[in-house]
Structure 1
């Protein structure tokens, strides 16, 4: 059996947090280190906050995620607050300087009501003037068209922390409106399937993202179309936003 704990460990193997080598991590890490208090919404296994603490962050650090197996792994960093819950469960009145939502976690908010409830809670968890930094894939780049086992760039062979060789790839099951349903398959190197992980992602255009932010009481401080900090265009792969609570 490939357990939930194994899945959480595989996530760290596939997505090592490294702000010195990865441009997306390098974008967020200075924001985190420069804020007195940080709420990481959808923190997963907690790698960003644990590294921030290891590198000297002395303020309040809190991670929020509904995946209990991921949080069990995050709790190896005992000097960070780890809370089980969704974005809508963010602590109102907490007065955080910064909230983050990395790794395209914003795309797991699938309905308008989920987005509204999540943004309202995140805004409530920030101090007046506090910032919310997050990213979502630009739908016009159609990233899902490259998520297939036939694409060698999407098929990954790794060795996990126990020394087990694994292969991982994606397939797309459906594209309905702005919702894309995908499967991530974990297998032995010979292709024997160990586990299939299903996920639905919502792809919102920049105009829709910005409208939700304005409705929730955020102003846009900066917005980029890629990790090189280029402006958002029709060809941009990303919508990377720093919003400020009004």
Structure 2
């Protein structure tokens, strides 16, 4: 929910790219997913956002079918700068394909935006239906044991210079932690502290047993599970739960 909108949706999408550039050469998580995408003939990126992953795949020579799905129209407008990728407006549960893809992805912790049980179930069902028999679904969630939200506070604010040359400051404030759902606000300010935009977000932090119960119910089998981007196991200190699940 947006409570301040001086910064437009289009400007917010551009700002996202500045703060989160997709770069497999610099970021191990990006490299992990990039390798999977490049090895698959057809890919559905659920929650594709501004399309960075699929843009890079095309630039790297991917010749197969690439489809990005996202409910954020401003992000999709930015993604559509490339016309050699299919861009579709909609949430994960809106995916209406039947056995068309070898790989589905949800990167950048997008899976955590699925908050309610019914939303998780409907989304997994739709993603599974979109995969061919034996197709794979790759995604990651932040491991709840690390309590990443405790670092989401004003002392860890980030600064970025936008396309207009403005220095903007982005800070976070956690409003509540109820069960495995964290509600927080991201606020963007100008150099003198004027609030330009404030967005409220809810993320779900599933543990491994709960996550796997949802996957099994939806008809997936866990093929691989990692606790980091270098294929290490999930341990008591892992920050990530990286999952590759196969359609059964």
Same fold (TM over 0.5): yes
1:41 touches 1:99 (CA, 8 Å); kept in 2?
A: yes
Partner of 2:46: 41
2:45 touches 2:67 (CA, 8 Å); kept in 1?
A: yes
1:157 touches 1:189 (CA, 8 Å); kept in 2?
A: no
1:107 aligns with 2:109: no
Alpha-carbon distance between aligned partners in 1 of 2:230 and 2:194, rounded to the nearest angstrom: 38
Alpha-carbon distance between aligned partners in 2 of 1:24 and 1:55, rounded to the nearest angstrom: 17
Cα drift, residue 229 of structure 1: 2.2
Partner of 1:86: 91
Write out aligned runs for 1:155-234 (5 A).
Answer: 155-234=157-236
User: Which sections of structure 1, spanning at least 5 residues, go unmatched?
Assistant: none
Partner of 1:54: 59
Partner of 2:21: 16
Alpha-carbon distance between aligned partners in 2 of 1:201 and 1:209, rounded to the nearest angstrom: 14
Partner of 1:142: 147
Alpha-carbon distance between aligned partners in 1 of 2:130 and 2:185, rounded to the nearest angstrom: 33
1:98 aligns with 2:103: yes
Q: Moved runs in structure 1, 4+ residues, more than 6 A?
A: none
Alpha-carbon distance between aligned partners in 2 of 1:23 and 1:140, rounded to the nearest angstrom: 21
Partner of 2:244: 242
Other structure's SS at 1:52 match: helix
Could you state the TM-score of these two structures normalised by the residue count of structure 2? 0.96
Cα drift, residue 127 of structure 1: 0.2
Alpha-carbon distance between aligned partners in 1 of 2:158 and 2:47, rounded to the nearest angstrom: 24
Bigger shift: residues 100-109 or 154-163: 154-163
Cα drift, residue 87 of structure 1: 0.4
Deviations 1:111-132 (A, max 9, x none): 1111110000000000000000
Deviations 1:98-155 (A, max 9, x none): 00000111111011111110000000000000000000011111000111012xxx31
Aligned residues: 243
Alpha-carbon distance between aligned partners in 1 of 2:164 and 2:203, rounded to the nearest angstrom: 30
Alpha-carbon distance between aligned partners in 2 of 1:27 and 1:55, rounded to the nearest angstrom: 15
Out of 69, 72, 93, the position equivalent to 2:74 is: 69
Deviations 1:178-234 (A, max 9, x none): 110011110112322111111000111011111111111111111111223221123
1:65 touches 1:84 (CA, 8 Å); kept in 2?
A: yes
Alpha-carbon distance between aligned partners in 2 of 1:146 and 1:230, rounded to the nearest angstrom: 24
Alpha-carbon distance between aligned partners in 2 of 1:76 and 1:170, rounded to the nearest angstrom: 30
Bigger shift: residues 192-201 or 87-96: 87-96
Bigger shift: residues 222-231 or 40-49: 222-231
Q: CA RMSD in A?
A: 0.9
Cα drift, residue 162 of structure 1: 2.7
User: Which sections of structure 2, spanning at least 5 residues, go unmatched?
Assistant: 1-5
